[in-house]
Amino acid sequence: MKGWMSKFKAVFALVVLALVLSGCGEPFLSALQPKGEGAEMIYDLMILSIVIMLFVFVVVIVIYTFVIIKYRQKKQDPDFIPKQTEGNHALETLWTVIPIILLLILAVPTVQYTFALADTSPEVNEEGEEQDSLWVNVTGAQYWWHFEYDGLEVSTSQELYIPTDRRVYLSMSSQDVIHSFWVPSINGKMDVNPTGNTNEMTLLAQEEGVYWGKCAELCGPSHSIMDFKVVAVSPGEFEEWVQDMQQVTGEETPESATAQEGQELFADNCMSCHAIGADPNKIGPNLTNFGDRTKLAGVVDYNKENLVEWIQTKGEEMKPGNHMMDAGYELEDEEAEKIAEYLMGLSPSDITTENAEDSVYKDSDLSSLFPEEEEEEGEQSEDEEDGEESDEEGSSEDEENDEE
Ligand code: CUA
């Protein structure tokens, strides 16, 4: 009875584990539901190696079970020793050749795909002519991503717009420490280095959608929330987006008087780090189309309240360790609100994440990932020493983990 119970417990634990793990992998953030050229190759390799491993596993288990049952000590003849085999050439050859064949089956496509994934030579059309490549310079920084479209005079941060069905070439480096750029649904990871060498990779999204990206290299206290998005829109919409972005100089006068005041305050306090327009010489996130962002700082709910808090606390609690914490400005709450009003109005293009029509992101129920934060009025302790309790983002992350 006791043995039966412990077996039951083990099976129960496995079932629970399977259920928990099956909750992993939202479609817009899953290597198991590939929506891009690279992700598909990687997925195929995963399936191939799993099939081979399962085959080996089954064969070993079958032989093992057979031997255990057939050759176990018999009650009627406890001294019986089965026939001992030594130096069987046929058998030894067999169990050497089979693994070699299996490894070859694994190695050939792996090597082939490794080279294919690393290939950043221009695409060639049916007539054999080289096509113009769309290059984006990607820079990782603690804890955000900068995207500069090569030759187009367009820069943005955090949300990388790309056309579908076209290979987008990334030239990648880092501003501070090593990060790793990873959009699981579209392609594998690529490290970005601060040492001057650039890495290259391509992204090809087959379907429109908003795909989530993560930093996959431990880079500091906010590494786990160094999120970004890839917004794949139709080629026509992408062209339109580029043209709209090119128009922005940062000099545009906003409509409302509050936003106009915000613009002035922004010029006085923020423009030494942030650009609106394509200015490449700024160390902070580019805010050209900030009004179209779906998340604040990559992870926080996009609303004015959070933005004002971000400006006032310099992201200290929302993204601990970020470089904005070094900024020297001092603002009244009222001033921060005006800046927020201005920034949230920066929407130069009609092409936004809404245009990524078949968006797997939109179809998904995100409530499990980002539960509504319960408003605890009057209870907000502002000077928590370690920020753990009052850190809104931290607690919602925890909830997310608990739920899954
Ligand atoms: Cu950047 Cu982890």
Quick: pLDDT tens for 104-136: 999 999 999 999 999 999 988 888 888 889 999
Mean pLDDT throughout 135-159? 94
| CA–centroid distance, residue 320 to ligand 1 (Å) | 13
Class of residue 290 by CB neighbours under 10 A (exposed 0-12, middle 13-18, buried 19+): buried
Closest approach atom of ligand 1 to CA 220: 2
In Å, what is the CA distance from 390 to each residue of 33, 284, 324, 403?
35, 26, 19, 20
Residue 324: predicted pLDDT? 87
pLDDT of residue 19: 65
pLDDT at residue 30 above 90? Answer: no
Q: Report the separation in Å between the CA atom of 89 and the middle of ligand 1, taken as the mean of its atom positions.
A: 53
In angstroms, the CA 372 to CA 16 distance is 26
- Closest ligand 1 atom to residue 140 Cα is 1
Q: Pairing mode, if any, of strands 295-296 and 300-301?
A: antiparallel
In short, whether 293's Cβ falls inside 6 Å of ligand 1 is no
pTM of the full predicted structure? 0.79
CA of 238 relative to ligand 1 center, distance in Å? 28
- Ligand 1 centroid distance, CA of 312 (Å): 24
Within 8 A by CB and 6+ apart from 256, the residues are: 341, 345
| Mean pLDDT calculated for residue range 227-245 | 94
pLDDT at 72: 85
The band of 393, judged by pLDDT with boundaries at 50, 70 and 90, is very low
Could you give the angle at the alpha carbon of 228 between the alpha carbons of 35 and 236, nearest 5°? 55
**Measured from the CB, is residue 215 less than 6 Å from ligand 1?**
yes
Q: State the distance from the centre of ligand 1 to the C-alpha of 145, rounded, in angstroms.
A: 10
Count Cβ neighbours within 10 Å for each residue of 227-258 and write b for 16 or more, e otherwise.
bbbbbbbbeebbebbbebbbebebeeebeeeb
Q: How confident is the model at residue 8 (pLDDT cuts 50, 70, 90)?
A: confident
pLDDT at residue 386, rounded to an integer: 42
Phi-psi region of 280 (alpha: psi -120 to 50; beta: other; left: phi over 0): alpha
pLDDT of residue 2: 58
- Distance (Å) from CA 221 to ligand 1 centroid: 9
C-beta of 141 in contact with ligand 1 (< 6 A): no
Residue 310 in tokens: 């971000």
DSSP at 25: -
Residue 148 C-alpha to ligand 1 middle, in angstroms? Answer: 19
**In the beta sheet, which residues pair with residue 170?**
136, 201
Q: Are strands 168-174 and 199-203 parallel, antiparallel or unpaired?
A: antiparallel
* CB-ligand 1 contact for 192 (6 Å cutoff): no
Please give the distance, rounded to the nearest whole angstrom, from the Cα atom of residue 378 to the centre of ligand 1: 34
- Tell how far the Cα of 214 is from the centroid of ligand 1, in angstroms: 8
∠ CA 227-166-229, rounded to 5°: 10
The beta strands (E) that lie in 83-127 are given as none
**Can you read off the two tokens belonging to residue 187?**
């392609």
- Is the minimum distance from the CB of 231 to ligand 1 under 6 angstroms? no
* Shortest-distance Cα residue to atom 1 of ligand 1: 179
pLDDT tens digits for range 255-282: 899 999 999 999 999 988 999 988 877 8
3-state secondary structure 345-379: CCCCCCCCHHHCCCCHHHHCCHHHCCCCCCCCCCC
Cα(353)–Cα(368) distance, integer angstroms:
20
138 lines ligand 1 (CB under 6 A): no
Which numbered atom of ligand 1 lies nearest the CA of 143? 1
Which of the residue ranges 42-51, 331-340, 344-353, 354-363 has the most confident prediction, judged by mean pLDDT? 42-51
The neighbouring-strand residues paired with 141 are 144
Query: What is the per-residue pLDDT for 383?
Result: 43
Distance of CA 359 to the CA centre of its chain: 16
Does the beta carbon of 346 sit less than 6 angstroms from any atom of ligand 1? no
3 state DSSP class of 332: coil
Q: Which two tokens stand for residue 139?
A: 């820079």
- In this prediction, residue 128 carries a pLDDT of 85
Split at pLDDT 50, 70, 90, the class of 78 is: confident
Q: How far apart are CA 330 and CA 124, in angstroms?
A: 54
Taking the CA of residue 177 as reference, the ligand 1 atom at the shortest distance is 1
Token pair of 41 as six digits: 């190759």
Cβ 225 under 6 angstroms from ligand 1: no
User: For the chain, what is the mean pLDDT?
Assistant: 85
Whether the CB of 179 sits within 6 Å of ligand 1: yes
The pLDDT assigned to 365 comes to: 47
- In this prediction, residue 98 carries a pLDDT of 93
Ligand 1: which atom is nearest the Cα of residue 216? 2
Query: Which of the four pLDDT bands, split at 50, 70 and 90, describes residue 187?
Result: very high
Q: Which of 80-94, 101-115, 355-369 has the highest mean pLDDT?
A: 101-115
Spatial neighbors of 45 by CB under 8 A, at least 6 apart, are 109, 110, 113
Give the Å distance between the CA of 219 and the centre of ligand 1. Answer: 4
CA angle 158, 163, 167 (to 5 degrees): 100
Say yes or no: CB of residue 219 within 6 Å of ligand 1: yes
**DSSP-derived 3-state class of residue 214:** strand
Q: Please determine, for residue 403, whether its predicted confidence score (pLDDT) is greater than 70.
A: no
Given this model, what pLDDT does residue 338 score? Answer: 92
Tell me the HSE value of 148 on the side-chain side, using a 13 A CA sphere. 20
The response to whether residue 319 sits with its C-beta less than 6 Å from ligand 1 reads no
Q: For the chain, how long is the longest CA-to-CA vector? A: 99
Atom from ligand 1 closest to the CA of residue 217: 2
Q: What is the pLDDT, as a whole number, of residue 21?
A: 62
The SS3 assignment for 238 reads helix
Asked if 174 and 145 touch (Cβ cutoff 8 Å), the reply is no
